Amino acid sequence: MSGEGAPYGARPSDGQGGVGGYGPPSDYSAQSASATGPGTGGQPAYGPPSSGGYTQPGYGAPQQGHGAPAPGYGGQPGYGAPQQGYGGQPGYGAPQQGYGQPGHGAPGYAQPPGYGQPGAGVAPGAPGSVEVVGLRVGQYLLDAVCIVVPLLVVALVGGFLGAMVDGGVGFVSLLVNLVVWVIAVGGSFGVYAWWPSTHGGQTPAMGWLGLRIVREADGGVPSLGECALRWVLLIVDGAFAGIVGLIIMSTSQRKQRLGDMAAHTLVVKA
């Protein structure tokens, strides 16, 4: 019966034998399109939103992205392109007008004449002049006096003592003679080699007469080795009472004796 056995009361017939009950739910596809919207199975499709919504470009579509020149920043030169320097100055690496070149507003720095060549082009009597042969003769005589005077004092005192003790032929006399030779050699080395190397290139007599020993290359003060070489060659220059050295100095181009030529030195007006 259509009304019996229905515990929950009669239900509208669903068209299947008139039996009331829970029938199959209505087809979802039959629902109103206005509620579900277009799509498969009546469900709203995943797609672009309606025309009234906020739209975004799809993935993979070209965007105005990073790296593209932004509006208003165009026209600037790219990196690596030469740019105009500040104030119109020439770029780095461009040749510039150096100091002392013609056309520069300020006078250039001039190199001193004759640098590295002492005595070149110097007038006689002026500082740096090599025309000092006469003064050098007087200098050697005065320096010799500085050596000979103490040497004579030691020789006289020692000879007197030796004569009193052993008659001038014993041990004391030999010792005195040795001391005299040491003073002669040591005093000569001290005056002609050590003293100028430690006193601006001047022996004691050179300081009195206004002379100076300088290096031929740069005009500097000679070293102890250079002064010692000059001193050793006094054996040759001092031969025949210094006549050999005087001739060599007078005839050489830069008024050098043999010791000066070997040590590459000059004697100039201080």
Highest-scoring range by mean pLDDT, 96-110, 158-172, 178-192 = 178-192
Residue 145 tokens read as 């006096």
- Cα–Cα distances (Å) from 126 to 119, 122, 132, 212, in that order, read 10, 7, 10, 13
Residue 184 resides in a domain = yes
Please count the structural domains in the chain.
1
Note down the domain range covering 201: 133-269
Length of the chain: 270
Predicted confidence band of residue 93 (pLDDT cuts 50, 70, 90) = very low
Identify whether 97 is part of a domain. Answer: no
pLDDT of residue 31: 43
Structure tokens at 171: 């041990």
Q: Which of 203, 209, 185 is nearest to 265 (CA)?
A: 203
pTM: 0.55
Give the pLDDT confidence of 220-241 residue by residue, as tens digits: 999 999 999 999 999 999 999 9
Condensed to tens digits (0 to 9), the pLDDT of residues 101-150 reads 444 444 444 443 443 466 666 888 799 999 999 999 999 999 999 999 98
In a domain, 242, yes or no: yes
- The rounded mean pLDDT for the chain is 71
Q: Does residue 146 belong to any structural domain of this protein?
A: yes
Whether 143 is covered by a domain: the verdict is yes
| Type of residue at 168 | G
Would the pLDDT of 20 be above 70? no
Q: Does a structural domain hold residue 62? A: no
Distance CA 41, CA 33 (A): 11
Contact call for residues 212 and 270 (beta carbons, < 8 A): yes
Q: Does the structure show a pLDDT above 70 at 33?
A: no
Say which residues have a Cβ less than 8 Å from residue 194's Cβ, sequence separation at least 6: 224, 227
Instruction: Look at residue 81 and tell me if it is in a domain.
Output: no
In angstroms, rounded to a whole number, what is the distance separating the alpha carbons of residues 199 and 185?
20
Is residue 124 one of the residues assigned to a domain?
A: no
User: Tens digits of per-residue pLDDT, 37-80?
Assistant: 444 444 444 444 444 444 454 444 445 544 444 444 444 444 44
